[in-house]
Structure 1
Amino acid sequence: MLYLEDLKVGDRFVSREYEMGIDEIKQFANAYDPQEFHTDEEKAEKHPIFKGLAASGWHTAAVTMRLWTECFPVAYGLIGSESSLRWPRPTRPGDKLHAEVEIVAITPSKSKNDRGIVSYVTQALNQNGDVLFMSTTKIVVFSKTFKAE
């Protein structure tokens, strides 16, 4: 587990790879984002932007979350306080995603000396190095002096 004292600006973490399967893409989309360019290959081919089946951006975000929780083991979990998201390119069936996380700022709490806010940039990249998802996130990270009650 990582604590506030273990982290510094510039630290990088890289996840394992995860392949996005066509059945999983359609299943997620049918449950949470039922748009034709996520669920129907024929109709997706005719879409003016996607020109083929694309995973929901929320699916890409969810897989990225899974990957970064595995490679960025912060004590007491990734407790988000703020995030901004971008999807520069669609995720396609067969894409092999991995997440890369880089710490860009660490701000100690002004009111509680046992924690701070860690800001980091996460990118999900495919097998070609294309960025499919990007987020800038702030999380609460506890120090080793934190006492859970």
Structure 2
Amino acid sequence: MLYLEDLKVGDRFQSQNYEMTLEEIKSFAGKYDPQVFHMDEDAAEEHPIFQGIAASGWHTSAVTMRLWTECLPIAHGLIGSETSLRWPKPTRPGDFIHVDVEIVAIHPSKSKSDRGIVTYITQAKNQHGDVLLISTTKVVVFKKEFKLCQDRTV
């Protein structure tokens, strides 16, 4: 597990691949984003932007979250404090997504000495290298001393 002291600006992480299937895209859309271009192949073909089935951006985001948790072994989990994101290209059935993550800032907390805020940029890409999602995210990361303090109270 990684603590604040283990990270430095410029560190990079890459996840494994995750396949987006047509069935999963339709299922997610049916539950959380029931728009025609996520659920109906024929209607999606006629869409002026997507011109075919596209995964919900929120589905791509959820998969990105899973991939983050697998490739960023942050002690005590990825505790988000802020994010901004864009979906420059649609995720399609059959895409294999992976995430590339780069640490771009580390700020120790001024009020809580056992933690800091780490900012990283994520690009979720498909097998062709197309960027499907790009985000800037801030997470709370604890120092090792937090773990030691917690272990003593158990």
TM-score by length of structure 2 reads: 0.95
Whole-Å separation in 2 of the counterparts to 1:9 and 1:80: 18
- Structure 1 residue ranges (4+ consecutive) displaced by more than 6 angstroms after TM superposition: none
Q: How does 1:34-45 map onto structure 2 within 5 Å?
A: 34-45=34-45
Q: Hey, what does 1:96 align to over in structure 2?
A: 96
Structure 1 CA distance for aligned equivalents of residues 18 and 45 of structure 2: 24
Asked if 1:84 corresponds to 2:95, the answer is no
Pairing of 1:10-21 with structure 2 (within 5 A): 10-21=10-21
| 1:70 counterpart residue number | 70
Describe how 1:1-149 pairs up with structure 2 within 5 A: 1-146=1-146, 147-148=149-150
What are the ranges of 5 or more consecutive residues in structure 2 without an aligned counterpart?
none
Equivalenced residues, count: 149
The unaligned stretches of length 5 or more in structure 1 are none
Partner amino acid for 1:93?
A: P
The letter for the 2-side match of 1:119 is: T
Q: What SS class does the counterpart of residue 145 from structure 2 fall into?
A: coil
CA distance in 2 between counterparts of 1:108 and 1:5 reads: 10
CA distance in 1, matches of 2:29, 2:112: 41
Q: Deviations over 1:18-54 (max 9, x none)?
A: 1100000000000000000000000000000000000
2:93 alignment partner, SS class:
coil
Q: Percent identity?
A: 73
More helix by share: 2
Alpha-carbon displacement from aligned partner over 1:113-136 (angstroms, at most 9, x marks no partner): 110000000110000000000110
One-letter amino acid of the structure 2 residue matched with residue 60 of structure 1: T
Letter in 2 for 1:45: E
